Structure 1
Amino acid sequence: MSIVPSTGILRKLYENAWTQDIEYSSSAFWQAYLQTQFYPGNNHAVVCEYAPGEESRRRIDITVLQYDSSNHTLMRLILIEAKRPGGTAAEVERQARRGARIAMENEHLSGLYAITTIGTAFRTWVADHQSPELSPLHGERPRGERAAYTDADSAEAFTLEADIQFIKGEDTPLRVAPTVPSQRHLLHQLTSSPSISGYATTSQQAITASVTPTYMHTTTPEQGHSMEPNPPGEDMDLDAAAGPSTSGASEGEQAVDQASDQSMGEQSAPMEYQDSASGGDTKWIQVTLRRKTHMTRKDEILFTNTKSKTVNTTAEEW
């Protein structure tokens, strides 16, 4: 199914991009189309000539930005590089790959999406911070092949709208933390709220015993906070340590690791950390651990305190 209406301004822009071997005509068509899919009302914006990083002199032809209302921040969601009909697939993909690499490094993202276009034809990609290459969302044709591109006015063009709807449903791109949340400064950033420090302590206890595997939070002079496996047989009694704060947790919330074999899903479990980063008396900090599984990218682990402040990383790095 074509994504170009039979009449109207988008049809005219498509015809210009088809007949004129000029890059700005091609870019104009894709700008207009993407503006019909991403707009401020759904917390997105389509902008042109946007740098992939704050200090980069490079400019991306078109960028889809996502607004995070919780933190009042913008994040790059999709990078689009557009070439005139006479452009080459190898060149436009090289530019998109470099731009994606800069954007992921600048914003510490685990991945983002890219679209490369040649005239009125497109190809969609996913970029991963652990891979130097773009990976196509559809098909198995090699990179750099013009024949792998789909024209916007063809019957196969519906895949682009399907990809866009999928990307919208994937929420905010994941950030890659330089250190995992069990380490001192990142954990302290998460749990710095003074209103969540009123927990009594009995011994080195941490995560509820219903979560498998169980981790115990300890402090050593050399490395600060760390996460170590709890010794076998030493189940933890949070009722004694934290009062009734976890007694109402559902079975689904406590079975966080059972989500690993699901295609999509989200489960959570309450956790407590011993906070001694600031010195003085030992304090217990309550956070909620959530694991979100994804179909096309790595699982997400989220740590949220009672003030709804969240630090997230990938399951692989946690």
Structure 2
Amino acid sequence: MSLITDEILNALWTEAQRNASNEWAAVAVWNQLWNKHIFWEKEWIVTPESPPEGSGRRRVDVTIRYLGGDRKLAVLAFHEAKPSDAGPQDIQDAEHQAVEACMRYLGKAENADLSFVYAVTSFGTKGRAWRYDRGMDYLTPLFGSDSLAERGDYIDLHSSEATQLRAAFNLMKNIKPYE
């Protein structure tokens, strides 16, 4: 079942299809989906273009946070996006950037009690959800094959397979790294 469920999402999705080389057009669809449909409740904070964690100058495309059990803001997931016309190397880069963001976050002293964090990678309107566990150097997919950079494992938001994305997003909301 498609995750494109209203006129605004449909217009943004269509715009992203027409502008395959424009990462911002794709990110607009994802931001609308995150803010109005998936993480719409007041306890969620969806922040585009988050500043880098620790050293380095690279920004995370989208960060999804929530208020944890001890009233501390915690990251649920990092989202790394690429444009629709991204090649296999670009997709691999997004996955590598997601791993690095997760490692930096869990490497901070104040997050020593966390054992995992989620990531989402996308190219255009196709996405994949992951879990990153402390100490690993790879992402574990929440659906699809275990291999990285497999375009076939990425699911378009406007497809019948998007139920797998919805299930992954529901799992992320219900099993948080920090309660």
TM-score calculated relative to the size of structure 1: 0.51
Give the AA of the match of 2:64. Answer: V
Q: CA deviation at 1:30?
A: 0.4
Structure 1 residue 40, shift from structure 2 partner: 4.6
Q: 1:160 aligned to 146, 165, 174, which one?
A: 165
Question: Relative to structure 1, is the Cα distance of residues 63 and 134 closer, same or farther in structure 2, using a 3 angstrom cutoff?
Answer: same
RMSD value, Cα: 1.7
Partner of 1:155: helix, strand, or coil? coil
Secondary structure at 1:45's aligned position in 2? Answer: strand
**Structure 2 counterparts to residues 1-318 of structure 1, below 5 A:** 1-5=1-5, 7-20=6-19, 21-35=21-35, 36-41=37-42, 43-53=43-53, 57-68=57-68, 70-87=69-86, 88-106=90-108, 107-108=111-112, 109-173=114-178
Residue aligned with 1:140, SS? coil
Change over 3 Å in CA distance of 1:171–1:133 after alignment to 2: closer
- Asked if 1 retains the 8 angstrom alpha-carbon contact of 2:127 and 2:156, the reply is yes
Amino acid at match of 1:76: V
1:148 is displaced (CA, Å) by 1.6
- 1-side partners of 2:105 and 2:152: how far apart? 28
1:230-286 per-residue CA deviation (whole Å, 9 max, x = no partner) reads xxxxxxxxxxxxxxxxxxxxxxxxxxxxxxxxxxxxxxxxxxxxxxxxxxxxxxxxx
**1:171 positional shift:** 3.5
Cα distance between partner residues in 2 of 1:171 and 1:149: 23
Alpha-carbon distance, 1:91 to partner: 1.5
Structure 2: 5+ residue stretches without partners: none
1:199-232 C-alpha deviation (Å, 9 max, x unpaired): xxxxxxxxxxxxxxxxxxxxxxxxxxxxxxxxxx
1: CA distance between counterparts of 2:178 and 2:162?
A: 25
What SS does structure 2 have at the residue aligned with 1:66? Answer: strand
Q: State the alpha-carbon separation in 2 of the partners of residues 170 and 102 from structure 1.
A: 21
More helix by share: 2
- Structure 1 residue 72: deviation in Å? 2.9
User: Runs of 4+ in structure 1 displaced over 4 angstroms?
Assistant: none
Distance 2:150 2:177 in 1: 30
Letter in 1 for 2:63: T
- Output the CA distance in 2 between the equivalents of 1:52 and 1:40: 25
Q: Which of the pair has the greater relative contact order for Cα pairs under 8 Å at 6+ separation?
A: 2
Distance 1:37 1:144 in 2: 25
Distance in 1 separating the partners of 2:128 and 2:146: 11
CA distances 1:9-45 after superposition (whole Å, capped 9, x unpaired): 111111111120201111111011011211352x111
Alpha-carbon offset, residue 51 of structure 1: 2.9
Once the two structures are superposed, residues 67-112 of structure 1 have per-residue CA deviations (whole angstroms, 9 ceiling, x without a partner) of 13x5332111111011101223211111111111111112233110
**Which whole-Å CA distance do the structure 2 matches of 1:167 and 1:142 have between them?**
21
Q: What is the alpha-carbon distance in structure 2 between the residues aligned to residue 85 and residue 135 of structure 1?
A: 23
In structure 2, relative to structure 1, the CA distance for the partners of 1:56 and 1:76 (3 Å cut) is farther
How far, CA to CA, are the matches of 1:52 and 1:105 in structure 2?
13
Taking the aligned partners of 1:160 and 1:50, their CA distance within structure 2 comes to: 23
The code of the aligned residue for 1:25 comes to A
Aligned partner letter, 1:133: Y
Unpaired runs of 5+ in structure 1? Answer: 175-318
